[in-house]
Amino acid sequence: MDIAFEHRQSAHCENGVISNLLNHQGITLSEPMVFGIGSGLFFVYLPFIKVNFAPGFSYRPMPGSIFRKLARRLGIKVIHQRFSSPEKAQAVLDEKLAQGIPVGLQVGVYNLTYFPDEYRFHFNAHNLVVYGKEADGYLISDPVMDYTTKLTETELQRVRFAKGALPPKGHLYYLERLPERLDLENAVRKGIRQTCNDMLAPVPIVGVRAMKWVARNIRKWPQTIGVKKTNHYLGQLVRMQEEIGTGGGGFRFIYAAFLQEASALLNNDALAKRSEEMTAIGDAWRDFALDISRIYKNRKSGNDVYEKLSEQLMELAEREKQFFKALKNDI
């Protein structure tokens, strides 16, 4: 069972899986276009959920959300299934492969044997494509890798049923039906509006308000939980930004590329200007991550380092607040 599937590397796993599955069906959408239509730019702070003994931070929506939104906006039917039984999960996967259908999977990262050790930790929202099966295992197209690889039945089962936060429960998905025509213009507008609404949401755990909440806490944490625990929390924040897919800065660069494409598609020059602004914001996120890493590695210390980090994140939140207000008016 070996499907003629074209593997193409991408910056972020879910975008890459979507783009590659669509490409297999003859629909060419760039990774930025997938990301933008699927409203992939996000920020959420979940202090009541612990991941690796630190609060939950995420720069992306829930796993599968980008694909579901893109499919709904373009009229693509995608089948999603989860399982309580590993045996049933494998049987359905094998059935689809036998039908010549490449299958997307949500998996845990920790036991992905082809990942470098430094990237293997407990994170259960990674995506990849299985495009065939041979005697010694399954053929894997992981879009964050520059080559295809394999996993044995045991290895694949382990990552499909990883334990911990956001357990994948064997989650698989595949394309079932495509529309006769893609209305990209309307889908782009809907994607932008959703992102603006998400980032400007009037709740404390989502969007720019969540960013400001984290900024205030960075100022407080050294006194309330101690420096060691604060640095652990900051390490988690920067890990989610820089190591999970592309995170904060990288996602903003992808979104800037999306706005550039959208500007040409919609003949809207204002979006090209917003693209430049978002690139600058992405640069500021990278500076923020660099400053955190220096503190985490004890290369930068002092009583004011946390105050400065707090100010940096507060400024980023305000910049994004003004950005998304302007973008919403543009569209």
Q: At what angle do helices 207-224 and 184-199 cross, to 10 degrees?
A: 30
**For residues 218 and 309, is the Cβ–Cβ distance under 8 A?**
yes
Task: Spell 301-310 as b/e; 16+ CB within 10 A means b.
Answer: eeeebbeebb
For residues 30-39, average pLDDT: 95
Q: Which pLDDT score, from 0 to 100, does residue 125 have?
A: 84
Q: How confident is the model at residue 276 (pLDDT cuts 50, 70, 90)?
A: very high
Higher pLDDT, 298 or 17: 17
Decide if pLDDT at 246 tops 60: no
Note the pLDDT of residue 323.
98
What is the topology classification, in CATH, of domain 13-37+77-177?
Cathepsin B; Chain A (3.90.70)
* Residues near 82 by beta carbon (within 8 Å), at least 6 away in sequence: 168, 169, 170, 171
CB-CB contact of 281 with 319 (8 Å): yes
Q: pLDDT for 150-160, tens place per residue? A: 999 999 999 99
Assess whether pLDDT exceeds 70 at residue 317.
yes
Bigger pLDDT: 304 or 229?
229
For residues 234 and 217, is the Cβ–Cβ distance under 8 A?
no
pLDDT tens digits for range 94-123? 999 999 999 999 999 999 999 887 777 777
Is the model's pLDDT at 244 over the cut of 90? no
Q: Provide the residue ranges of all domains of the chain, joining segments of one domain with +.
A: 13-37+77-177, 184-330
List, for residues 125-142, the tens digit of each pLDDT value: 889 999 999 998 999 999
Least confident of 60-69, 224-233, 313-322: 60-69
User: Residue 218: its pLDDT value, please?
Assistant: 96
Q: Is the pLDDT of residue 302 over 70?
A: no
Indicate the pTM of the whole model: 0.89
